[in-house]
Structure 1
Amino acid sequence: MNITELYELNDGHKLPKIGLGTFQIRGYQGVDEILTAIQLGYRLLDTSTNYDSEGAVGEAIRRSGIPRAEFYVTTKLPGQYHHFDDALKIIEESLLRLGLDYLDLYLIHWPLPKRNHYVEAWQALIEARRRGLVRSIGVSNFEKEHLDKIILATGVTPAVNQNEIHPYWPQESLVNTNQEYGILTEAWSPLGRGSDELKEPLILALAEKYEKNVGQIILRWHVQRGILPVVKAVTPQHQHHNLEIFDFALTADEVYQISALMREDGRIDNQDPKEYEEFV
């Protein structure tokens, strides 16, 4: 099964409409899990230096026998490397760990506004793109004020903003901001990471109506909002089911009802990008 539906980014490059997250997928077992996903049709592989899964992603790509050009590989800049020269070196290090010549997408993992070096980090990503180390550059966990600051400072708008988004935290305002700026929204933990969202009566009822599972309903909700869900799955069954979201559609009212499940305390780990410290 190949995923053929793609989003076009503001820089002209493209990404599949669903990706495999590799948080806590590591080592030889991780290679096998990622390889299974590749065999099922996943081509967007999302990792991070902080996930310690870059080596597993690169090895799975090599073992797959599929040409490098068919993959869309994302990794991210850790907070301790926000200074310009450090950022460029860690991007090179990520390429060495992955065993790749270039990255399809590179993101600043967190803005860390209390440290306030994210503009310098963004300037390093622009330089990395100029050097051909990466094709598209973006950010993760950036709020509107952070986006405005880097765009004003550099004149360069991110291609992607990856944010925490799930039914209890739908981020309507931020998603709208991203769309207004021409930025593709990606969702991390799109299923809520084991929260009660999978037990919501509304979502259970929709799963029954469409003869889908609850995860598929939530992932379809993301896609219909123009969001690219990056979803972790380690079993072949879950990996396969997560791809089966392009053969049905929710109504506009159903999308609205799922978004209305929002909770004021909906964040999974209360990771507010304005306050969160990625490292101590």
Structure 2
Amino acid sequence: MTSTIDVPVHETFQLGEVTVPRLWTGLWQLSSNAWGTAPVSKIRQAMGRHVDSGYTTFADHYGSAELIFGQFRSSLKSPESVFGATKWCVFKPTIVSQETVEAAIRQRIERMQTDRVDLLQFHWQDYENPDYLKAIEIMMQLKARGLIRNIGLCNFDAVRTKEICSRFPAAIVSNQIPFSVVDTRALYALKDVCNKYGIKALTYGTLCGGFLAEKWIGLSEPDHYSGSLNPSQRKYLDMIVKAWGSWALFQELLVALHKIAQRHSVNVSNVATRWVLDHSFVGAVIVGARLGCSEYPLDNLKVYDLVLTDEDRLEIQSVLNRSSGRKLIETIGDCGAEYR
């Protein structure tokens, strides 16, 4: 593929031994038709446009995401130039053994048409069962055998992340967690754990399902049950109006972000993304894309040229100070608690 579009140089960071961009393309919207559908051929074309624009990292495993990504990457002249992050999520009681863990990893290798998983992100539902430690120990053995390139966590809280990193120094490179101007739970204990052990946060929900955008300014609170909202929007609307504050206060946040965006000739989503990226423990923001339906790769790239000022940050903070953001750690729990 040869790009004819001049695009900004991507910011990068070190993930284990790999250098990757700080904006990733999230594939979770391939999990359901509720986000919209497109033929696989159009999805692969959209992936190509993203790669042409420097988005060389794709993440998630829901639905057909691994299969479509694997087909796309294997079709490239240089498939090694594209990085794939996937997950192994354990939601129900599972016997953790060499056989079960290896079977899960090999399934991902087969689906992604590769010889090893670039980044295996591990989610464990039941903290009462400490076998997540045994699972990670086996993953380390599989990594030594070349089946896994990097091991990461997904939705692990500060207590368990610290436990794992203390038990297995240097084994974990990342933790995929929610983090946005609305959901700031990561700024409590988890930030310090990441900094102490040198692991990077890979953030999702950074745009609150698309609510952090100009198009919502001045609109009335949407109806949860109208059928007009996708699954992500229903999730984040609940957080905004039931836990964080109110729709009216969220409108004030959007207006503040919009004023900042206008000063820098960018958009609200760029400002919200830059605010997250400016935290040193954050490696990348994973931006969900409805590939083949609705995508904004070039608009999102404007974040790389954006430098927020102290004034900008104070204006954002002045709204956040009037929210219940600081209480989310108590009302919802630490990062990932909403999935347990």
TM-score, L = length of structure 1: 0.85
Match of 2:102 in 1: 88
Q: 1:69-112, CA deviations, whole angstroms, 9 ceiling, x for partnerless residues?
A: 21111011111567233222111110100101122211113453
Displacement after TM superposition at 1:33 (Å): 3.2
Supply the distance in 2 between the matched residues of 1:271 and 1:144 (Cα, whole angstroms): 11
Deviation at 1:4, TM superposition (A): 4.1
Q: Which residue of 1 is the match for residue 74 of structure 2?
A: 62
Q: Aligned equivalents of 1:180 and 1:104: distance in 2? A: 24
Instruction: Quote how far apart the aligned CAs of 1:209 are.
Output: 1.0
Percent sequence identity is 20
Q: For structure 2, which runs of at least 5 residues remain unmatched after alignment?
A: 1-6, 32-38, 218-253
Cα contact 1:113–1:275 (8 A) shared by 2: no
Aligned counterparts of 1:216 and 1:243: Cα–Cα separation in 2: 8
Aligned with residue 142 of structure 1, among 156, 161, 165: 156
Moved more, 92-101 or 54-63: 54-63
Q: Of 3, 6, 13, which aligns to 2:12?
A: 6
Q: State the number of aligned residues.
A: 272
- Counterpart CA distance in 2 for 1:175 and 1:253 is 24
The aligned residue for residue 211 of structure 1 is 265
In the alignment, is residue 247 of structure 1 matched against residue 305 of structure 2? yes
Shift of 1:150: 1.6
| 1:199-244: CA deviation from partner (whole Å, max 9, x where unpaired) | 4221111111111111111111122113210001235751221122
Q: CA deviation at 1:257?
A: 4.8
Distance in structure 2 (CA, Å) of the matches to 1:83 and 1:215: 41
Say which is worse superposed, 235-244 or 36-45, in terms of deviation.
Answer: 235-244
Task: Please report how far the alpha carbon of residue 179 of structure 1 lies from its aligned counterpart in structure 2 after TM superposition.
Answer: 1.7
After the TM superposition, which residues 1-280 of structure 1 pair with which residues of structure 2 at under 5 Å, given as runs?
Answer: 1=7, 3-9=9-15, 11-25=16-30, 28=40, 29-48=42-61, 50-63=62-75, 65-80=76-91, 83-85=96-98, 86-170=100-184, 171-173=186-188, 174-195=190-211, 199=217, 200-226=254-280, 227=282, 228-234=284-290, 238-255=296-313, 257-258=315-316, 261=320, 263=325, 273-274=336-337, 276-277=339-340
Please, which moves more after superposition, 12-21 or 250-259?
Answer: 250-259
5+ residue gaps, structure 1 = none
- Stretch moving more, 248-257 or 155-164: 248-257
Task: Give the letter for the 1:164 counterpart.
Answer: P
Q: Distance in 1 between matches of 2:302 and 2:107?
A: 35
Largest Rg, 1 or 2: 2
Structure-2 separation of matches of 1:24 and 1:216: 21
The Cα shift of 1:59 comes to 1.3
Cα shift at 1:256: 5.6
State how far apart, in whole Å, the 1-side matches of 2:89 and 2:154 are: 11
Q: Is the 8 A contact 1:43 1:70 kept in 2?
A: yes
What is the Cα deviation at residue 8 of structure 1? 1.4
Letter of the 1:186 counterpart: L
